[in-house]
Structure 1
């Protein structure tokens, strides 16, 4: 059984005041010709040797020059050990895809660590002001704000500190990272390259923070559902993903009350060779009548469970993923009993049972599910975090952030976080706006590559919606307005961060093959940053 590991909360210790590290002798030839008189010489050398900062030319560091916003974003990405993210949707209009700093800015923007001058303008070539640097540093440290009478008003030029930066300025001051000079902070003054080198080096010299930077991401379950792929295609997708649990679609309830079995022992062997587990899916294809017939017969239920468990034992899988949807409300108790017996029989074979459930918003669709009781029997409850708006229904997002947060928190009130897995969508829907009735609009399901190809080909304009936590793209086709609520690295990272803040057991993805390559490093970044600042942030 795969279990997530708890990590300690990040303890930030105070760092001694001042920016100028004590100079030490450097035996080798300095890597830059212009740092001999810099107070940050040793810091610059250490950062260069760690690959965190480079020169403005092969031989010059330009220590007294202001550091640009792009350079600072790249330095942050390197300091935190984040992978570059080649998202097809630029976060900012002035950060082109071919720019050397594009993928670094995308990575930090996905995590909310850096921000633009506006929602669409990053101003990469502009210098970073001291108050902007304070905001960015406070974010990467996840520092508690040091506002209040004891802190506010410390600087003579306090009135010059922007309201949006004041809490962060005092937070980094409290940590001793940036303290200004002569009682002034100089918030609008450009930060120099040697100043940021000194700050970054001071962080690395701090044992607590240095240890956190090397903390590996905490282990978590990562389920990948197979759909619309051959086994060969599925394997290739898995090899380029974060998946550690494969869920092929092997078992399905038939109308006659039997079960289909497409088990493939070779896939289990391959997964074992790759160090991965297999939890095949057992579904009911939304067939409410056949499900009712099964659940209301104790003999049929026991027989069917035995057949699935026996097949699981023969193929050597480690668990079963139960996906019974559209269960009738009157079958609530019967379904609860069915899951309890299924779990008991699997546990006798040292296997796990995960159960897929939709978010509970008190509708007929979920009335059949006793979430608390199911959570006691099953090892994991997989929350299907999508279909906020479904095909044939009202137009809207597949999974907006507020909707997902509400659904996840509803579940966590009934099921321990250590038993919760959040399923994320690797698809979106293209909707006709204004077509059909108010309750139904024509739509088309899109895999992420199809989504990006379409908006590029048709010139769709996309804009980030902060409230929804995703981009929204609009275009016209055949004279009709159409809209796509996009899923991509930034939206998926926002959802991932939300769930990690609740310290859940892991994630699942519907479906493997629906993603684009940059999704996986973006989510690895989220896990890496979570390890640095600690769970529950």
Structure 2
């Protein structure tokens, strides 16, 4: 897989010729609604024909495996496909190996160097008894390069049939699914969530669902309701009992606490609550995790930050999800949603107090469209990456790329002359984020939120990581 940035004069035919690939494969993997309209600055994912194949209408896994010269089981395993009959148009599948014909002068050592694998891997995959006994014209298989293993979490707010279908389509890319949200009540009970459809899809794609428990009340995070619980041990025990009962009933694998705007005086109360949760959930095999605001120091001021004790959470829970996004928030000035320079500041602090193998880095699956000049009190419109590119195409805007933020953006004027500025994510910006996850040696990453079409993200994710499944 490669990333191509559209230049002036590019056509899809020209791009396909440049990369010696099939034009229809590019259309499908990028979900191009109008292949005749390319936007200058648009990032396209380009499948590599020898290693990758994008599912087309009428395809089945058996035929695709045959084209790659591998078994259905091998192809399903490398692509985290639990049901070989369940593949979708537009999915990019990776072959576990490619075929190579021995050329005059080839040695097994040189082939291993050229393809970035070891001689032992070549010997094992091809059952070669004597490495020096290979001959011109012989066909051998080259295994894929080993990729780092990562855990991936995805939040979803869609509990209907559309949400179920999206989990079925994308579930092979995730370790955990976190349906948002169950909420606490001041009497220690929790609200219900109509999550059965997405939980069914999670089981079908071998996902570990985590129950998201928040202090989200009537459309916003409520500091008082969480304070009531944190200051009463008996209410905490009642809440944990109710939590356990729901997890058992629904088949959850663990819990993700997303308590936001907790009063600073409840910082240690929150830590002690988590210790009680772990003491009761771990013996039953449940995972305990938390979502934390993006802090750059331990003494960072503000209601969003002060009660989130990075070091304590790193010691108590199984992993933390860092909400490293929303710099470009709907009520603020135009800005990249997750500028990589700001994300790195959070990680620079986080890794000093939380073990790296307990950190998931948050990644946004959305962008925003602001009216400019920006005025205080105005609210930006949230757009998907796919919608952002379509906007640029509709208004004839060229997409630019900010190297400091590692984020694409563009400006346009609408039908009434109102000017806009749009920041979003593309294949380049998520590649920068995946490079950061690898550079910092993190446990993995997580997305907020499904339901925002971003087709380029998934092949880029596949290219970078092997996704852990439990």
**TM-score, normalised with respect to structure 1:** 0.60
Among residues 223, 247, 250, which one is paired with 1:312 in the alignment?
A: 247
Structure (1 or 2) with the larger CA radius of gyration = 1
* Deviation readout 1:365-386 (Å, 9 max, x if unpaired): 2111110001111101101121
Q: Distance in 1 between matches of 2:42 and 2:271?
A: 52
Among residues 220, 223, 226, which one is paired with 2:150 in the alignment?
A: 220
Q: Does the 8 A contact of 2:328 with 2:335 survive in 1?
A: yes
1:499 aligns with 2:437: yes
Residue of structure 2 in register with 1:281 after alignment? 212
Question: How far does residue 202 in structure 1 lie from its aligned partner after superposition?
Answer: 7.6
Q: Distance in 2 between matches of 1:435 and 1:465?
A: 19
Question: How far does residue 218 in structure 1 lie from its aligned partner after superposition?
Answer: 3.4
Residue of structure 2 in register with 1:406 after alignment? 345
SS of 1:390's equivalent in the other structure is coil
Residue of structure 1 in register with 2:111 after alignment? 204
Question: How far does residue 327 in structure 1 lie from its aligned partner after superposition?
Answer: 1.2
Q: Distance in 2 between matches of 1:248 and 1:200?
A: 52
Q: Distance in 1 between matches of 2:254 and 2:448?
A: 18
Q: Does the 8 A contact of 2:168 with 2:201 survive in 1?
A: no
Residue of structure 2 in register with 1:456 after alignment? 393
Q: Does the 8 A contact of 2:293 with 2:308 survive in 1?
A: no
Residue of structure 2 in register with 1:100 after alignment? 16
SS of 1:303's equivalent in the other structure is helix
Residue of structure 2 in register with 1:243 after alignment? 174
Residue of structure 1 in register with 2:70 after alignment? none
Question: How far does residue 521 in structure 1 lie from its aligned partner after superposition?
Answer: 0.3
Q: Distance in 1 between matches of 2:159 and 2:420?
A: 32
Q: Distance in 1 between matches of 2:17 and 2:312?
A: 50
Residue of structure 2 in register with 1:145 after alignment? none
Q: Distance in 2 between matches of 1:475 and 1:256?
A: 51
Aligned length: 356
Q: Does the 8 A contact of 2:159 with 2:197 survive in 1?
A: no
* Deviation readout 1:326-376 (Å, 9 max, x if unpaired): 112121111111122122222121010110012103230211111000111
SS of 2:260's equivalent in the other structure is coil
**Distance change >3 Å, CA 337–CA 198, structure 1 → 2:** farther
SS of 1:215's equivalent in the other structure is coil
Q: Distance in 2 between matches of 1:91 and 1:339?
A: 49
Residue of structure 1 in register with 2:379 after alignment? 442
**Distance change >3 Å, CA 450–CA 103, structure 1 → 2:** farther
Residue of structure 1 in register with 2:287 after alignment? 352
Residue of structure 2 in register with 1:466 after alignment? 403
Question: How far does residue 258 in structure 1 lie from its aligned partner after superposition?
Answer: 3.2
Q: Does the 8 A contact of 1:96 with 1:102 survive in 2?
A: no
Alignment gaps of 5+ in structure 2:
22-39, 44-103, 122-142
**Distance change >3 Å, CA 344–CA 101, structure 1 → 2:** farther
SS of 1:220's equivalent in the other structure is strand
Q: Distance in 2 between matches of 1:350 and 1:482?
A: 50
Q: Distance in 1 between matches of 2:105 and 2:261?
A: 60
Q: RMSD over aligned Cα, in angstroms?
A: 3.2
**TM-score, normalised with respect to structure 2:** 0.68
Q: Distance in 1 between matches of 2:419 and 2:106?
A: 50
- Of stretches 207-216 and 459-468 in structure 1, the one that deviates more from structure 2 is 207-216
**Distance change >3 Å, CA 358–CA 97, structure 1 → 2:** farther
Q: Distance in 1 between matches of 2:439 and 2:314?
A: 20
Question: How far does residue 264 in structure 1 lie from its aligned partner after superposition?
Answer: 4.4
